[in-house]
Amino acid sequence: MTNTIKNPDLLKPSIAIRFLEWWVILAVFTLLIIWALPHTIAARNISLFGGALAGLLWMVLVRLKVSFRNLLPVLCLLAVPLWIVLHWQFFSSLKEAQWDEIDSTWLRVTLAIVLGFCSGQMITKYPRFFLFFVAGMCILPTLTAILYFFEVDNQKKWVIDNFLGFYKGKFSGVYFIACQVLIGFGCLGQAFLQESQSLLMKILIGLLGGFLIVIGIIDGIALRALNLILIVGLSFLIFSTLFFLKSLHQFVKGNVRFLSVMVAIGIMIAITIGLFVFYVYDKQHEGKLTNLVGDIRISAQLEKNQTWIRDGQPIPEPVDANGRQINGSTYERTSWFIRGGQFIIQNPLGNGITTQSFGYYMRDAYPNSKALMTHSAWIDFTLGVGVPGLLLTWIAIGLCLFNGQRAIRKKMNFMLNEPIKVLKEKNNPEFSNLLVKQSSVSQTLIAQISLWLVLGLFCYWVVGEVSEREYIEHYFFLIALFSTAIRYE
């Protein structure tokens, strides 16, 4: 029997490409887990540098073409660290502290953008690799829920003091758990807001999405995280409205799939129960949600009560008309948000520092102030990178969301109306057609998750303390990945 391989060396590029692909996937999978864990800076550096290098080598070998519309958001993101370097050179009054960030945080952010760009290219070629992304994002929140139930059984009570799961702080847990919740809503959007999927596929994707959301609510109860529940509630309201409108449209057309509707309603009931449980808990133990609007109104009166300065003066927290002391967290978040916005107006170029940038301004204005962050990532981020850095970031996010929305519409038109124009197998053309339809379903799923995740995190940055270090790396990575992974040609 003769050997049909005339030149064995031809196999080497294929082996090298496969090796680089799995190197990138392993780096991304590792990063999506350890970004949420404390004391992982060395592992993050290795994964970011190794993954970005492997991704660039892979792109050189496979010679993938990149459209400008997919590249533009990535260029906007890369312009942010470039702007920080220019700021350090020409405008900085905190050169040493700012260079420390350039040499650490912004170097890792640049690597994260490159890795996200390469990973997105890889997902366009192999959509199944997206499963590793989802798994990496959802492992820790799911394990946190399991750990919470273990602690409940161990301590024989549902309210566990100082429970943080695997996270270094409450705000960290909320951010990464919110990612799982938003992926869940992306799955629900794919299952119940899209056409041309088999009933079984709808149910399976829908159940997965519902599971991820319910687990996230359990984590929110465990961490007593109002911000997370607000994100779930807002996302649930948006999804419920879209689902109602779509179901009404299908009913008028007479093509309602009642089993699909019943599964969706069951999932929505489970989410509603979870939100109601948190509301009951908050009313009995915290009172933060039930008094939220009134507390915000009182907290906005900066001149009337200046406890928010936190300079050690014995000034009590404000009280409402009933003599109840308002929630301290709500008071700080509201007053610091307003004061931070005033600092931005006064300093539109920022101070070049993203780690506790608010503290620099507060110490300048109030020398004894111990306040460090505003509890709003977008305010803190802008205080550091300035309005130019903020605009570049928002443009990248807007382009990413536009690509996702356009991709969903294009893919749905393809599946519904267009003939399948591909090379078919000689003996089984139906199988080839099925593969193309499945590929379109996977692309719309990625686009749906991108819309919910990128936009949802944008909203969370309004109220979360996540404007530094690993959170900037993580969010910029996601924007770069989805901007590249979503195609609508």
Residue 96's CB is within 10 A of a number of other CB atoms, namely: 7
pLDDT confidence band for 427 (50 / 70 / 90)? very low
**Predicted structure pTM score:** 0.86
Q: Does 343 reside within a domain? A: no
Tell me whether residue 422 is in a domain.
yes
Number of domains in the chain: 1
User: Residue 109 has which token pair?
Assistant: 């952010």
Q: Which residue has the tokens 């952010």?
A: 109
3-state helix, strand, coil in the chain (%, to 5): 75, 0, 25
Quote the CA–CA distance of 479 and 1 in Å, as a whole number.
53
- Burial (0-12, 13-18, 19+ Cβ within 10 Å), 99: middle
CA 293 to chain CA centroid, Å, is 26
Grouping H, G, I as helix, E, B as strand and the rest as coil, residue 347 is: coil
Q: Which residue has the higher pLDDT, 15 or 107?
A: 107
Cα 175 to Cα 166: distance, rounded to the nearest angstrom: 13
Per the domain annotation, does 142 fall within a domain?
yes
Residues facing 325 on adjacent strands: 319
The residues, any chain, with a CB within 8 Å of residue 140's CB and separated by 6 or more, are 33, 36, 37, 165, 166, 167, 176
The answer to whether residue 38 is domain-embedded is: yes
For residue 221, CA distances in Å to 94, 158, 439, 453 come to 41, 9, 37, 21
Q: Which residues contact 89 (CB under 8 A, 6 or more apart)?
A: none
Region 270-279: mean pLDDT is 78
Domain assignment present for residue 354? The answer is: no
Among positive and negative, which fits the CA dihedral 434, 438, 443, 444? positive
pLDDT reported for residue 176: 94
Query: Which tokens belong to 77?
Result: 């993101």
Average pLDDT over residues 177-186: 94
Does residue 315 lie in a domain region? no
pLDDT average, residue stretch 69-96: 93
Q: How confident is the model at residue 250 (pLDDT cuts 50, 70, 90)?
A: low
CA distances, 68 to each of 24, 236, 354 (Å): 23, 34, 30
pLDDT digits (tens, 9 = 90+) for 336-394: 999 999 999 999 999 999 988 999 999 999 888 888 899 899 999 999 999 999 999 99
**Domain annotation covers residue 210:** yes
Q: Considering only CA atoms, which of 122, 107, 166, 126 is closest in space to residue 142?
A: 166
Predicted pLDDT of residue 143? 93
At 41-80, the pLDDT tens digits run 999 999 999 999 999 999 988 887 777 888 899 999 999 9
Average pLDDT of the chain is 83
Residues 6+ apart with CB under 8 A from 374: 333, 336, 337, 339, 340, 358, 380, 383
Q: How many CB atoms lie within 10 A of CB 256?
A: 15
**Which pLDDT score, from 0 to 100, does residue 4 have?**
46
Count of other CB atoms within 10 angstroms of residue 319: 12
Q: Which residue has the higher pLDDT, 397 or 327?
A: 397
Q: Extract the tokens encoding 361.
A: 């301004």
Provide mean pLDDT across the span 221-243: 85
Q: Is 396 left (phi over 0), alpha (psi -120 to 50) or beta?
A: alpha
pLDDT band, residue 301 (cuts 50/70/90) = confident
- Whether 290 has a pLDDT exceeding 80, the answer reads no
Rounded distance between C-alpha atoms, residue 124 and residue 63, angstroms: 13
Per the structure, the complete domain to which residue 130 belongs is given by 12-291+379-485
Check pLDDT > 90 for residue 1: no
User: Which class for 70: exposed (0-12), middle (13-18), buried (19 or more C-beta within 10 A)?
Assistant: buried
Bridge partners (DSSP) of residue 319 are 325
DSSP string for 225-257 = -HHHHHHHHHHHHHHHHHHHHHHHHHHHHT---
Q: How far apart are CA 22 and CA 16, in angstroms?
A: 10
pLDDT digits (tens, 9 = 90+) for 135-165: 999 999 999 999 999 988 888 887 788 888 8
Q: How far is CA 383 from CA 171, 239, 390, 420, in A?
A: 20, 33, 9, 51
- The pLDDT assigned to 319 comes to 79
Q: Does any domain span residue 331?
A: no
